[in-house]
């Protein structure tokens, strides 16, 4: 997929997802209005929509249906959004702003923000099940998606990575621990997205294994690239001040390896990701490889 | 089931569940130790274990296997426990003690308590899937359990009830709203437990409908009984001071209807629950009816 085709695809996916919320959120059910507002506020805050994009792209690259992938794409964005809401809480990172908007607890209060996060996490599993109920994806495949999501977003996955990040300290965090944090805090949900898209498309074990390796390498490269942009990025494009990691004395790849070595590592991982897909028979102009290139060359 | 048989059954279930945690928690996986400790601390805090008991009893009353019901029983206790951890947080009820022990955030700090709750909620879905993976429950049945759990613990269910409770105020909460709060904050997880036990046992739609009606009536009766015990209970048996609802000017059934009318309503609901099961062909000495009687006659 060429860069311009890809830009169109990314925009199209973001719009499709935004239109899908109203169908996928429990808006018309008997739910306290404030709860729906708090959940919706953060879901609609925008952002890259990278994870849902990966679900749909993996599914479509393997010949699966976009419609069937959408409930799963929405689910992974709900899980990602809940994790941001809880991360921003005063007891955690205590952030007042995210992407230029007030954080959930600054608008709805701490108690509601905790519950909005809990609601999004729980409803994500409901959304996943709708792939079977509304689009006929086999129960066995959807159950594997549920299993992956609970493992990769749970204690062994994202939550575990978050705890390790919270407990990490300068001088104590070495490269192995930093890798653990990145692999789980960020990487697992990226791997999940790819596997889930593959499962919706009915991918075989070989394709799923390739998607897993691709996602692991891509997720790590993505995180290293984030750390690099925090140092050399353009504030106006990033939408946040650069240098915050250094100010907070955060342990990052550039902190441990230096900028040049970090760039080489990100490039090496991206090449590894690329080769993995090509070896597994994905076409050179498939959506996923376009996205990998896009992520490596992004400036925000 | 006779009262003494039932007491034995309840104790046996609690022990079985306590032994099962070590198999069902991600103890031996690569998970930060503090996270596992925080999750385990609250899971092992004891309590009635009512919800897992209902899962196993419904399953066994319908001829299903106890072993197959256990991962689901453990899951509902994980969800119940996560909701208590988050409810106790300073931003919510701000409780320092629960069942005579320090609350999770008093021991592990607020950030870890939030993440331990998130971890338990997410891992509950993993545990549910193990009913299929380890015990051969059909994928379609397990997917329905996942769907029920996400609906009944999520925005439409327990989380919605919690929000309504938080927003409720004396003078504003009427009987209809109080019913909504009880039905969702407490009732939905009880209904879920019964349905899930039925689904593990392969119950047909008629039996599932009866379990749903039984659970709705039983859950409401259980909550009214709780409110009554808060007024007339024995502090030494309850393990908490009585009269706290009145002190906090909480809107309860006795507050709205008076003590006598509340007792009548609880008895009426219990009779309704009983008739529902008998009409659906459950035997008069089944476990679920024993549990219903036990709950109505409890003093704590």
- What single-letter DSSP state applies at residue B47? -
| Pairing verdict, β A101-102 and A97-98 | antiparallel
A32 sits in the region (left: phi over 0; alpha: psi -120 to 50; else beta) called: beta
> From the CB of residue A264, how many other CB atoms can be counted at a distance below 10 Å?
13
Q: Provide mean pLDDT across the span A6-19.
A: 83
Chain B, nearest residue to A177 by Cα: B32
| B152 at A interface, C-beta within 8 A | no
Q: Which of residues 230-259 of B touch A (CB under 8 A)?
A: none
- Which pLDDT value is given to residue A100? 87
B146 and A151 within 8 Å at the Cβ level: the answer is no
ipTM of the complex: 0.94
**Between helices A66-88 and A110-135, what is the axis angle to 10°?**
170
> From the CB of residue B208, how many other CB atoms can be counted at a distance below 10 Å?
18
* A94 contacts on B by Cβ (under 8 Å): none
A34 and B163 within 8 Å at the Cβ level: the answer is yes
Give SS3 for B98: strand
> From the CB of residue B248, how many other CB atoms can be counted at a distance below 10 Å?
10
- Which pLDDT value is given to residue A275? 97
Q: Provide mean pLDDT across the span A123-146.
A: 96
B119 and A147 within 8 Å at the Cβ level: the answer is no
Confidence of residue B203 (pLDDT cuts 50, 70, 90): very high
Confidence of residue B182 (pLDDT cuts 50, 70, 90): very high
Buried b (16+ CB within 10 A) or exposed e, A52-73: bbbbbbbbbbbebbbebbbbbb
B174-177 contacts, C-beta under 8 A, 24 or more apart: B174/B256, B175/B256, B175/B257
Confidence of residue A57 (pLDDT cuts 50, 70, 90): very high
Mean pLDDT over each residue of chain A, to the nearest integer = 91
- What single-letter DSSP state applies at residue B171? T
| Pairing verdict, β B101-102 and A97-98 | unpaired
CA distance A162 to A177: 12
| A142 at B interface, C-beta within 8 A | yes
pLDDT tens per residue across span B89-138: 999 999 999 988 999 999 999 999 999 999 999 999 999 999 999 999 99
What are the boundaries of each domain within chain B? 3-297
CA distance A294 to A4: 10
B89 and A114 within 8 Å at the Cβ level: the answer is yes
Per DSSP, helices labelled H in chain B are 3-24, 33-43, 50-61, 66-88, 104-108, 110-135, 139-153, 158-167, 175-181, 188-200, 205-232, 235-238, 244-247, 253-257, 259-279, 287-297
CA distance A253 to B43: 37
The angle at the Cα of A286, spanning A280 to A287, to the nearest 5 degrees, equals: 120
* Residue A49 in this model has a pLDDT that exceeds 80: yes
- Which pLDDT value is given to residue B48? 79
Who among B114, B123, B154 is closest to A92 (CB)?
Answer: B114
CA distance A217 to A201: 22
Who among B86, B118, B129 is closest to A143 (CB)?
Answer: B129
pLDDT above 90 covers what percent of chain B? 71
Q: How many residues does the structure list for chain B?
A: 300
| Least reliable range by pLDDT among A102-111, A138-147, B20-29, B189-198 | B20-29
- Which pLDDT value is given to residue A154? 96
Q: How many residues does the structure list for chain A?
A: 300
B134 sits in the region (left: phi over 0; alpha: psi -120 to 50; else beta) called: alpha
Q: Which of residues 22-51 of A touch B (CB under 8 A)?
A: 26, 29-32, 34-36, 39
> From the CB of residue A12, how many other CB atoms can be counted at a distance below 10 Å?
13
Who among B125, B153, B167 is closest to A146 (CB)?
Answer: B125
Q: Which residues contact A33 (CB under 8 A, 6 or more apart)?
A: none
pLDDT above 70 covers what percent of chain B? 96
Q: Provide mean pLDDT across the span A233-262.
A: 81
Structural contact between residues A221 and A266, judged by C-beta atoms closer than 8 angstroms: yes
B168-174 contacts, C-beta under 8 A, 24 or more apart: B168/B251, B169/B251, B170/B249, B170/B250, B170/B251, B173/B251, B174/B256
CATH of A3-297 among 1.10.443.10, 1.10.600.10, 1.25.40.10, 3.30.200.20:
1.10.600.10
CA distance B159 to A123: 10
Tokens, residue B276: 């529902």
Chain A, nearest residue to B91 by Cα: A111
pLDDT tens per residue across span A187-241: 999 999 999 999 999 999 999 999 999 999 999 999 999 899 988 877 776 666 7
Tokens, residue B295: 């709950």
CA distance A214 to A295: 13
Structural contact between residues A151 and B126, judged by C-beta atoms closer than 8 angstroms: yes
| A154 at B interface, C-beta within 8 A | yes
Structural contact between residues A189 and A152, judged by C-beta atoms closer than 8 angstroms: yes
Give SS3 for B102: strand
Tokens, residue B241: 């001071």
| Pairing verdict, β B101-102 and B97-98 | antiparallel
CA distance A268 to A263: 9
CA distance A133 to A130: 5
The angle at the Cα of B146, spanning A126 to B153, to the nearest 5 degrees, equals: 70
CA distance B178 to B122: 29
A125 and B125 within 8 Å at the Cβ level: the answer is yes
| Least reliable range by pLDDT among A105-109, B200-204, B207-211, B228-232 | B228-232
């Amino acid at each position: 997929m060429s860069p311009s085709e890809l830009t169109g695809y990314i925009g199209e996916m973001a719009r499709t997802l935004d239109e899908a919320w109203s169908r996928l959120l429990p808006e018309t059910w008997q739910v306290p209005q404030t709860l729906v507002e708090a959940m919706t506020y953060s879901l609609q805050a925008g952002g890259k929509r990278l994870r849902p994009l990966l679900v749909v792209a993996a599914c479509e690259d393997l010949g699966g249906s976009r419609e069937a992938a959408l409930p799963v794409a929405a689910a992974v964005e709900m899980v990602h959004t809940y994790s941001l809401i809880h991360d921003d809480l005063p007891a955690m990172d205590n952030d007042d702003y995210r992407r230029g908007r007030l954080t959930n607890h600054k608008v709805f209060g701490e108690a509601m923000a905790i519950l909005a996060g809990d609601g999004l996490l729980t409803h994500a599993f409901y959304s996943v099940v709708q792939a079977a109920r509304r689009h006929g994806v086999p129960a066995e495949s959807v159950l594997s998606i549920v299993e992956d999501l609970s493992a990769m977003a749970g204690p062994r996955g994202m939550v575990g990575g978050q705890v390790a990040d919270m407990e990490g300290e300068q001088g104590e965090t070495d490269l192995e621990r930093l890798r653990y944090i990145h692999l789980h805090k960020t990487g697992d949900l990226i791997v999940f997205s790819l596997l889930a898209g593959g499962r919706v498309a009915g991918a075989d074990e070989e394709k799923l294994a390739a998607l897993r390796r691709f996602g692991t390498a891509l997720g790590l490269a993505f995180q290293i690239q984030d750390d690099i942009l925090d140092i050399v990025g353009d504030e106006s494009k990033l939408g946040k001040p650069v240098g915050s990691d250094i100010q907070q004395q955060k342990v990052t790849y550039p902190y441990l390896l230096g900028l040049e070595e970090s760039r080489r590592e990100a490039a090496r991982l991206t090449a590894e990701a690329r080769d993995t897909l090509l070896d597994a028979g994905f076409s050179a102009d498939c959506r996923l490889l376009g996205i990998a290139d896009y992520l490596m060359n992004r400036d925000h």
